Amino acid sequence: MRKALVIGNWKMNGRLAANEALLNGLSSGAECLSDDVEVAVCPPSVYIAQAASLLQKSSIGVGAQNIATQASGAFTGEVSAEMLTDFGCEWVIAGHSERRSLYGESDQDVALKVAKAVESGIVPVICVGETLEEREAGQALARVRSQLEAALAQLEGDQLASIVVAYEPVWAIGTGLTATPDQAQEVHQVLRQALNECQVDLGDKVRILYGGSVNAANADSLFAQPDIDGGLIGGASLKVDDFLAICRAAA
Ligand code: PEP
In sequence order, the 6+-apart residues with CB closer than 8 A to the CB of 15 are: none
Q: pLDDT value at position 98? A: 97
pLDDT at 162 over 90: yes
The pTM of this model reads: 0.98
* Closest protein CA for atom 3 of ligand 1: 234
Active site residue 168: yes
Pairwise CA distance, residues 133 & 142, whole Å = 13
The CATH H-level superfamily of 4-250 is Aldolase class I (3.20.20.70)
pLDDT at 1 over 90: no
Give yes or no for residue 214 CB within 6 A of ligand 1.
yes
Give yes or no for residue 105 CB within 6 A of ligand 1.
no
ipTM of this predicted structure: 0.98
Reported as a single tens digit per residue, the pLDDT across 170-210 is 999 999 999 999 999 999 999 999 999 999 999 999 999 99
Q: pLDDT value at position 171? A: 97
- Confidence band (pLDDT; 50, 70, 90) for 102? very high
pLDDT at 119 over 90: yes
Average pLDDT on 71-99 reads 98
All structural domains of the chain with their residue ranges: 4-250
Q: Choose which residue among 5, 6, 7, 9 to substitute to test ligand 1 binding: the one with the highest number of ligand atoms within 8 A of its C-beta.
A: 9
Q: Which one, of 31, 34, 30, 27, lies nearest residue 4 by Cα? A: 34
Instruction: Give the nearest ligand 1 atom to 96 CA.
Output: 3
Phi and psi at residue 13, to the nearest 5°: -130, 155
Percent of the chain whose pLDDT exceeds 90? 98
Q: pLDDT value at position 29? A: 97
